[in-house]
Amino acid sequence: MSPFFLAKASGSPYERGNQIGRQSRQRIRTLIEAEFAYYQTHHAETADQVLGNARQYDPFIQEFSPKAFAEIEGMAAGVGCQVAEIVMLNSVFELMAARNPLVLPPGGILTDGCTAFAATAAATKEGVTLVGQNLDGRCDPWHKIYHDFDYLRQIETEEGLQYITYAHSGLLALAGMNSYGIGLCMNNLHAGRYQKGVPYAIIAKEMLEQTTLEEAIAVLHRARRPGSLNFLLGDSAGRLVDIEAMPEDLELMWADTITVHTNHFVSGRLREKLEFDVGLQPWSNSCQRRERVLTMLQTQFGQIEVDTLKNVCRDHAAYPGSVCAHGNPALPADQQARTFAGMVFDLVAGKAHFVKGWPCENEFVTYDL
Ligand SMILES: [Zn+2]
């Protein structure tokens, strides 16, 4: 039995949104209330003010993907809430970043985030393509409720494309894979600046609805990107590409066999454009996590399989700065980061393996596409 809540939908974008909204009604309502409570507590903002900020993303979503906006409208109808409330959930990261491009808590440090990794071709035991990540976030009560109310969305479009994605309830997508053998993982990046644009949950959903790697990459090129994020993409043909994206630029880094990405820019060209470089911060374990996972994959080169990447998710080397994160007790409680989920996508077999909670304590569950 999966510990994840699995929402399934098919049909037109509006119908899919409506089905997900009805299936996830209470979960989505819980997160809407949590979002209002957060802005009331931390910024003394009313619900109307928060929704007014969220509505500023409407034109960007509508222009970028009318289908995504139709899905949001369908979801609002299914939940019985305002369209702006679903837009608010889908722009949750952007609403925070708009206030503070580094999403720093008051007086605090930046919290490290997810670890993504992939292997293909000669690196793997059976010559397949595997892409995975741990999904990390802050331990504070507001972030925790977002992860407590996460879900898996299994979607079939009118064209027959299927995909499964992990996201917080109400969001259209984060990491996932589709039936055309495309896998997508994501990590936080920070360039120190921000602009209003298409929320990353919408960009991720659009990427997962493409049939080729080239089309998925083109989605990222054409989107007005709000902040910085890393996208690790693979396909069942054995190609891997890591894309570091910032509002005004991006860099594609193709890999023949293995690649790992954490929370600092690797591209020398993009690093010259940073106003803030996580890779240079003494409190960050981003560089250390990347080196650790590269070493793990190089050590097992030629023998990497799904279980190898599940073990990467569970890794405790250099604890508490490990891939499987349990918080650093040296930091204040609200600035500690922990792992909330892990996932490994086998793009050739069409199998997605997800674990809810700490990968070291919980079992992965497999979903077929
Ligand atoms: Zn652990």
pLDDT digits 0-9 by tens, 194-223:
899 999 999 999 999 999 999 999 999 999
Residue 107 has pLDDT above 70, yes or no: no
Dihedral of alpha carbons 87, 91, 92, 94, sign? negative
What DSSP element (H or E) covers 72? helix 66-79
Three-class DSSP category at 330: coil
Q: What's this model's pTM, rounded to 2 decimal places? A: 0.96
For residue 303, the CA-to-ligand 1 centroid distance in Å is 23
325 Cα to the center of ligand 1, angstroms:
6
**Ligand 1 centroid vs 355 CA: distance in angstroms?**
12
Architecture of domain 115-149+169-368: 4-Layer Sandwich (3.60)
Q: Are 141 and 123 in contact (CB under 8 A)?
A: no
Ligand 1 centroid to 316 CA: how many Å?
Answer: 6
Domains of the chain, residue spans: 6-99, 115-149+169-368
H helix or E strand, kind and range, residue 307: helix 306-313
Dihedral sign, Cα of residue 279, residue 284, residue 285, residue 288: positive
Centre of ligand 1 to C-alpha 360, Å, is 4
Nearest-angstrom CA–CA distance, 228 and 192: 8
How many Å lie between the centroid of ligand 1 and the Cα of residue 331?
18
Measured distance CA(172)–CA(205) in Å, rounded: 6
β-bridge partners, 65: none
Q: For the segment 316-345, what is each residue's pLDDT rounded down to a tens digit? A: 999 999 999 999 888 888 788 999 999 999
Ligand 1 is an ion; residues with CB less than 5 A from it = 324, 358, 360
Spatial separation of the C-alpha atoms in residues 296 and 291, rounded to whole Å: 9
DSSP code string of 253-294: EEESSEEEE-SS---HHHHTT-SS-GGG-TT--HHHHHHHHH
As a whole number of angstroms, the longest Cα–Cα distance in the chain is 56
Whether domain 6-99 has CATH 1.10.10: yes
- Give 151's strand partners: 167
Cα 19 to Cα 9: distance, rounded to the nearest angstrom:
6
Spatial separation of the C-alpha atoms in residues 332 and 104, rounded to whole Å = 13
Which pLDDT value is given to residue 138? 87
pLDDT band, residue 104 (cuts 50/70/90)? low
Instruction: Determine the average pLDDT of the residues in 120-145.
Output: 93
What average pLDDT does the segment 72-84 reach? 98
Least confident of 34-48, 136-150, 159-173: 136-150
